[in-house]
Amino acid sequence: MKLHILSVSLLSALAANSAYAQSTGTTSMGTVEVRSSRGQLTANEVLTSVDVLGAEDIEDKNVSQSWELLGLMPGMQLTETRQGAESGKVSFRAFNGEGYLNAIKTLIDGVPSNVNSGNQRFIDMLFPLEIDYIEVVRGTNDPRYGLHNIGGNINFGTRQGGEYTDIRLNYGSFDTRGAQVAMGREHGDFSQNYFVGVLASDGYRDHGSSEKYSIGGKWFYGSLEDGMRIGLTARAYHHEADEPGFMTAEELLAERRNSDLRNRNDGDDRDMQQAALHMDLGLGEGLVLGSKLYYNRYEDDRRVTFSDLPTGNAPRQRRMWDEKHAGLLATLTWAASDMLTLEGGVNYEQQDNHYRRERFNYAEPTDFDGVPARIQNDDTHTFDNWGAYVQAIYQPLDALKIVPAYRVDRFDGNTRLLGGIRAPLQDYGTIGQPKLSVVYALTPHTNAYANWGRTFQVLTGATAPAYMTPGQASMRPSTNTGVEAGIKFSPFDGVQARVALWQQDAENEVSNMPATGTTVVLGKTRRRGVDMQVDARLGERWTVWASHAYQEAKIERDGRAAGLSLEGREVAATPRYISNLGIDFRATDALTFGLQGRAQGDYYLEEQNVAGKFGGFAVVDLSAKYQINPRLSLDMQVKNATGREYVYAWYDSFFWEQAQPMFSPSSGRTVFIGVTLKL
């Protein structure tokens, strides 16, 4: 496995400054194609911590959903729920993927791609062969985005332009079969790209079958060199999946591949569409305007049973979402001189969302098409966001760069609930977010840097406290203030490393899950940690890379009465460490072997920290690839080669008197073979 990771902690040079200044901008791990831009700033030119995973290490990976690809990257926590279409998500910097605080902004080709709650479900539309790169930005000092950009952001860039026809077929454990076709054509200033993907599997557990389909296209004309580039991107996705359900400890011990009768009718039908118009204009020497007009549609019908207690209608639910998001992003960039670049941006997003939740009496099995015992939600709500930012990149010396920035966001909206209740969104006012980054190149191979910035959390969902229903008190947005300092260096030829210390403090943080109407004010929290990464090329055949993220998230102050306080407790579902290790060996020009290890620590399941710690694992994946000829290759991947039995765990509190941990087991050792043909 040859890993292409670009680790960028500082901004790269915008123009032809000295080689000394440019060396302060990047640290690469593995072989990387450094991408440059004309005019508009890229994430690599924003002074923060950035990792980029390139297409060569994405296209032949066997994953059930594309968020799993981020497990190749440093410091990524994968929340592997493995419940049909609700398969999991990714998080970092001591934020978790439980759904209570979705702190990672997600984009596809620069288009915002979170659902209202902040969940990352639009990632599922993508297949590996369609992806050109994945770019992860950590920290609080990126001013480009506001909503959901609490701990950072992830952008999935898909292939654009080129002349290719790529076909990939794969087969593996549990009768998993997949097919992908990607095609690109380019003639003069006109380029077009198409993609079709299908993946089906019987699943590791009983009642775990899944089928999904995705289709996409991109059409672009013109170039910035000629003053204008316009384009259209569009994709659609459909997924039908059974859900095997979460298991009690006793059920897990008895038979981890079983699905209890209570879950026999659980499942999910999910449809998503995305379309965007892109336009870039060269307005003059060093002046570029970029804009995107987009539309997202998310429809989901999930039938789910959470608890094993055969009573009541709390644990058996049908949840239906219908969300329509439309928005605009515009950015104006001016390269004023070799020393100064200025950028300003605005965004607007309007959401029209509907959420319906039906509850059914417990019976084994039940039919979700019957009459529900009660309708808990039948909500329609709007959620509007206006944002704007300015930032400057100032380089008074070749070795010194300073990046100040400031962002503001405002929100508005209304909700309509059962019983004719109408209410406005919380009035958060104007949310200001100052940011500052500084980098100094000590030598051509050593950089010291520091950054500081503020982000925010606002509540989502259709009900109180997000909306001001009668009797609801007003709430301030929770601001997150982060600081980071680090050093990047290359002690020897072929070896590059980075060490970073970071801390992020939140005021009035809220644990909020709109799907369940669960809201808990955590109060003041502190997240902090250290990130370490190293990449070493050992001769012509060996590459070794490793990363280790040590982190903690604690509740510092909550204002609760004595005996109820959570002060000093750890935030739920946050492991203390996340580690990666990779070894690539090119045996011959045609044959390559790879090993990747991932490890994660245990975590508490709830804020009281009394239900025990779960979720730790250490797994090893193996791979081999044989290039038969320049167009045809064969590969084999063995995931979890040692057969480690680990679980995802959460806390079932539908019945507080019998609350208990619930589990979703890993799939054990799996084997996949694939063939890739490049015409």
- Domains with residue ranges and CATH for the chain: 4-678 (2.40.170.20)
Residue in this structure with the two tokens 């791609």, named with its chain if needed: 113
pLDDT at 599: 97
CA distances, 466 to each of 11, 157, 285, 377, 519 (Å): 37, 32, 46, 15, 10
Average per-residue pLDDT for the chain: 90
Q: Is the pLDDT of residue 613 over 90?
A: yes
Least Cα distance to 452 among 476, 470, 435, 469 occurs for 435
Please list the helix, strand and coil fractions of the chain in percent, rounded to the nearest 5, in that order.
5, 55, 35
pLDDT at 366: 75
pLDDT at 584: 94
The answer to whether the beta carbons of residues 114 and 105 sit under 8 Å apart is: yes
* Dist CA 571 CA 604 (whole Å): 8
Among 44-48, 221-225, 499-503, 568-572, the range scoring the smallest mean pLDDT is 44-48
The answer to whether the beta carbons of residues 74 and 53 sit under 8 Å apart is: no
Least Cα distance to 139 among 513, 386, 485, 569 occurs for 485
Q: Is the pLDDT of residue 35 over 80?
A: no
pLDDT at 4: 42
Strand pairing category for 152-158 and 104-108: parallel
Which residues have CB under 8 Å from 554's CB, separation 6+? 525, 526, 568, 569, 570, 571
* Dist CA 49 CA 390 (whole Å): 20
199 beta partners: 178, 212
The answer to whether the beta carbons of residues 241 and 85 sit under 8 Å apart is: yes
pLDDT at 31: 37
* Dist CA 477 CA 487 (whole Å): 33
Q: What is the pLDDT of residues 324-357, one digit of tens each?
A: 999 999 999 999 999 999 999 999 999 999 999 9
Average pLDDT over residues 477-504: 93
More confidently predicted of 17 and 93: 93
CA distances, 625 to each of 1, 49, 62, 552 (Å): 8, 31, 13, 38
In three-state secondary structure terms, 656 is helix
Centroid of chain to Cα 544:
26
Q: Is the pLDDT of residue 657 over 70?
A: no
Q: What is the pLDDT of residues 179-223, one digit of tens each?
A: 999 999 999 999 999 999 999 999 999 999 999 999 999 999 999
Structure tokens at 673: 């073979």
Which residues have CB under 8 Å from 129's CB, separation 6+? 59, 166, 168, 180, 181, 182, 195, 197
Task: Please report which helix (H) or strand (E) contains residue 20, including its range.
Answer: helix 19-22
pLDDT at 531: 96
pLDDT at 307: 83
Q: What is the pLDDT of residues 66-88, one digit of tens each?
A: 999 999 899 999 999 999 999 99
In three-state secondary structure terms, 248 is coil
Predicted structure pTM score: 0.94
Average pLDDT over residues 248-252: 95
Average pLDDT over residues 618-633: 97
Q: What is the pLDDT of residues 99-155, one digit of tens each?
A: 888 899 999 999 999 999 999 999 999 999 999 999 999 999 999 999 999 999 999
